[in-house]
């Protein structure tokens, strides 16, 4: 059975690129453009991991992280951001329960390795 990922980002090109990349790696990928839609996805499907952007068109990805950690505490969540080096943001995300933190400027292979690290073997 293929690992199931939920990718939440309001930028369509990034969503499409990552969905294609992870599908080629053998994952099942669902994408969401906002927190509301992401909440509906996890209420109706099971995911092995979520990748969540910090800035979601007026919404806060860290709030969505809080929802996931409260409602689905065993699901790993990797925070994904285009924001420049912000150690405070990294620390906030990790304190809120993020399993990992990646910047959009890092390679797809680095994101893949981060995802693999947090999936059950």
Rounded mean pLDDT, 86-104: 85
Give the Å distances, CA to CA, from 55 to 4, 19, 61, 70: 23, 19, 6, 20
| Residues linked to residue 103 through DSSP beta bridges, in sequence order | 81
* Residue 58 pLDDT level (bands cut at 50, 70, 90): confident
The domain 4-118 having CATH identifier 3.40.190.10: the answer here is no
Question: Where along the chain do its domains lie?
Answer: 4-118
Contact 77, 97 (CB under 8 A): yes
| Residues linked to residue 81 through DSSP beta bridges, in sequence order | 103
Contact 106, 80 (CB under 8 A): no
pLDDT for 55 equals: 85
Q: What is the pLDDT of residues 3-44, one digit of tens each?
A: 999 999 999 999 999 999 999 999 999 999 999 999 999 999
Q: How, if at all, do strands 4-8 and 49-53 pair?
A: parallel
* Residue 93 pLDDT level (bands cut at 50, 70, 90): confident
Give the Å distances, CA to CA, from 1 to 22, 26, 76: 14, 9, 18
């Amino acid at each position: 059975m293929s690992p199931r990922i939920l990718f939440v980002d309001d930028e369509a090109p990034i969503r499409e690129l990552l969905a294609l990349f992870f599908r080629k790696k053998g994952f099942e990928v669902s994408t969401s453009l906002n927190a509301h839609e992401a909440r509906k996805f996890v209420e109706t499907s099971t995911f092995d991991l979520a990748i969540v952007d910090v800035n979601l068109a007026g919404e806060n990805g860290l709030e969505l992280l809080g929802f996931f950690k409260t409602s689905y505490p065993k699901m790993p969540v990797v925070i994904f951001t285009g924001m420049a080096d912000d150690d405070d943001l990294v620390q906030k995300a990790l304190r809120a329960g993020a399993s990992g933190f990646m910047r959009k400027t890092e390679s797809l292979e680095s994101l893949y390795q981060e995802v693999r690290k947090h999936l059950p073997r």
